[in-house]
Structure 1
């Protein structure tokens, strides 16, 4: 085994390591500051519930494999916790408290022990989900680090193993004490690394150097360069325009009624809302659905029904052209009528699942109670809100990756109620297509 000084000198001397991690850290900063921190804040304030939080965290980390959270002790652990929790609301409250960054090492120790004990109770009462209490250390420290990267290190398994082998960490200590000792040891290494690296060291520099020494494989870089790592994951949704057919390339502009769209269709003797409805029908057809376009002129009907005939589900959809975003407001009565009118026929045709989707430029002041009421008091399995731009991204994915099928796409309509965010679309990617790297840093 190499002593820490040798590990850091090796890391500092490697141009390949320095180049890779300089770019890697820039990506981490960008995603953290622009996406993750605001999402965690929305969850903490209650603007996002725990089901949506889990889903969006999953999508972000699959698209940006930068911290190792997409593996077994991160997202899979999150999935197991939620599946094992008997009460989603109670679990959400406990999680909000647990991921709030501690004010001291002693508080961090207490938080880890407390949440690990809670995890053990969930494990004892739900043998199917089987969450692993030790994962608590990595799980919580990830969220703390995202919020306060200079205060709290992520408890990576590779770092734990190396420090244990060097007798710098007691890997048999209770979980809370183990994290407290881990943070203290990394503080000492940071001070020493300031000299070894001849520059101020961050927690991630310690983790990067240890991973480079212990686990690095040239294929890690090759995978990223050939489309298997972070760059591929980001490009998977945000692909070039050629993947978006011209017929629906301006769907988002039409949905918002921007001047460019108004001017483009001014010579056409058709209102922009009708153009939006027609384009939406075309998009559902391109996704692979058998689409029945209803809309204006067909009486009190939704704008269309997209059927996945061989997959036994259907999506009743309604298009709402809005410049300032759509607010469900009093439309719940109309939506209820649409549902009641069409679900019986669709059930009689053998549809096991029926979903309702509202598509608009954006959404505002959505009352979750209205969505819950519609799910509870009608024969609908789920109701989702989809920006036109999100549907465009979904189509890009479908056309770029033809292995995606209507079974995969059902996740978008049936996973949870409310507005589906673009980063969540990565959740439709089958597991065999995703990277199997668990702990890369």
Structure 2
């Protein structure tokens, strides 16, 4: 084995490693500030429930594979916990407390041991989900690190293995004690590493150096660079995969000045144009679409049927400059559902969903969504911003292997507003990376 001092020296001397991790760390900071921290804040405040939180964390980490959370001891562990928990509300409350950064490392030790015991109880009572208590160390430290990166390092298996082999960490210690010792060892290594680095050493610098020594693979780096690195799937304002007829769906939905001016000569109201474009987009996704809308009586704007997949989506398009508020239209939505679900069931549709498409959504009352699901024959009701629907089509056109079975996840996974980062969850598991968990 190579001693830590030599690992740090080699890491500091490698221009390739330094350049790669400068970009990596910059991306981590950007995603944390713009996406992860706001999502965690919304979960902690109760604005986002645990089902939505799990889904959006999954999507974010699949699109930004820069912490290793998308692997077995991160997101898969989250899924196992959620599946094993008998009460969704209780699980959410426990998780909120657990991912709140502790006031000290000693308190962190206690929180890890407590949540690991809870995980063991879930494991004992649910033989199918089988969550793994040891994953608690990485799982909680990931969330603590995102919120307080200078106080709590992520407990990476690669670092644990290296430090154990060097005799610096007791890898058989109780989980909480192991993490407390891990932090203590990393603090000592940070001081030692400052001999080789020209700037203050962070916890992630130590983890990066260890991973670079233990797991660095030039072929993987070249492949990542050739494929565009960790850039988000939907970046780019040119919308290269969107056909022109729906490329301005988001602008029409919001009634921007550009959209108003463009369609002024059409002698057709912008809400009608929005309805028509939504119908076209659903057809492009692969649905058999029946366009209803204005002029067809009290009807939704359309019904998109996945004929071979035994489900249908009743959709309503709401052009709004300031965002759509569902509370005022719940009776109308109920009427739409009652009018069409019986016919769709008679046609053999196993699942029927209701989707509202608009520029944005405001003041959504979750109780209204729950009431519609409970008291009507609808399987789920979702809110889709126009740009999220565009992103869904872009994925469908970019990746021909996606089919309407995959797309059903968007409409059937959970009620409420679907966020763009969640769309990554429709990618089949066989297309997702099956590489081992890593710091990179």
TM-score by length of 2: 0.98
Partner of 1:58: 58
Asked if the contact 1:285/1:291 (under 8 Å) is kept, the reply is: yes
Residue of structure 2 equivalent to 1:440 = 439
Distance 1:351-1:238 versus aligned 2 partners, 3 A rule: farther
Q: Within 5 Å, give how 1:7-406 maps onto structure 2.
A: 7-227=7-227, 230-231=230-231, 234-235=232-233, 240-406=238-404
Q: CA RMSD in A?
A: 1.1
Cα distance in structure 2, aligned partners of 1:354 and 1:206: 51
For the structure 1 residues 114 and 238, does the alpha-carbon distance in structure 2 shift closer, same or farther, using more than 3 Å as the test? farther
Task: Report if the CA contact (8 A) 2:293-2:299 is conserved.
Answer: yes
Deviation at residue 239 of structure 1 after TM alignment: 7.9
CA distance in 1, matches of 2:290, 2:72: 42
3-state secondary structure, aligned to 2:383: strand
Q: CA-to-partner distance for each residue in 1:385-410, whole Å, 9 max, x for gaps? A: 00000000111111111111000000
Deviation digits for residues 277-309 of structure 1 (CA, Å, limit 9, x no counterpart): 000000000000000000000000000000000
Q: Which runs of 5 or more structure 1 residues have no equivalent in the other structure?
A: none
Mean Cα deviation higher: 428-437 or 342-351: 428-437
Quick one: distance in 1 between partners of 2:185 and 2:439? 21
Deviates most, 212-221 or 194-203? 194-203
For residue 12 of structure 1, give the secondary structure of its aligned residue in structure 2.
helix
Distance 1:238 1:77, change over 3 A: farther
Change in CA separation of 1:187 and 1:238 when aligned onto 2, cut-off 3 Å: same
Residue of structure 2 aligned with 1:407, choices 375, 389, 405: 405
Q: Secondary structure at the match of 2:329?
A: helix
Distance 1:160 1:57 in 2: 24
- Alignment CA distance shift 1:323-1:205 (3 Å): same
Deviation digits for residues 24-76 of structure 1, max 9, x if unmatched? 00000000011000000000000000000000000000000000000000000
Match of 2:381, SS?
Answer: strand
Give the secondary structure class of the aligned counterpart of 1:2.
coil
Superposed displacement of residue 222, structure 1? 1.5
1:130/1:239 CA distance change after superposition, 3 Å: farther
Residues of 2 paired with 1:126 and 1:283: CA distance? 42
Secondary structure of the 1:363 match is coil
The CA deviation string for residues 362-394 of structure 1, in whole angstroms up to 9 with x for no partner, is 000000010011001100000000000000011
Counterparts in 2 of 1:80 and 1:229: CA distance versus 1, 3 Å: farther
Count of aligned positions:
439
- Structure 2 distance, partners of 1:375, 1:333, is 13
| CA deviation after TM superposition for structure 1 residue 237, in Å | 6.6
Quote how far apart the aligned CAs of 1:86 are.
0.3
Name the CA distance, whole Å, in 2 between partners of 1:419 and 1:30: 24
Residue 65 of structure 1 contacts residue 229 of structure 1 at CA under 8 Å; is this kept in 2?
no
**1:315, distance to aligned residue in structure 2 (A):** 0.2
Q: SS in structure 1 opposite 2:433?
A: coil
Mapped to 2, the partners of 1:357 and 1:105 lie a distance apart of: 46
Q: For the residues of structure 1 that align with 2:235 and 2:228, how far apart are their CA atoms? A: 14
Which residue of 417, 427, 430 maps to 2:428?
Answer: 430
Report SS of the residue matched to 2:265: coil
Report the Cα distance in structure 2 between the residues aligned to 1:118 and 1:403, rounded to whole angstroms.
40
**1:228 Cα deviation from its structure 2 partner:** 7.8
**Aligned mates of 2:65, 2:352 — CA distance in 1:** 34
**Contact 2:234/2:391 (CA < 8 Å) preserved in 1?**
no
Q: What TM-score do you get using the length of structure 1 for normalisation?
A: 0.98
Contact kept, 8 Å, 2:208 with 2:439, in 1: the verdict is: no
Deviations 1:408-441 (A, max 9, x none): 0000000000000000000001112122232233
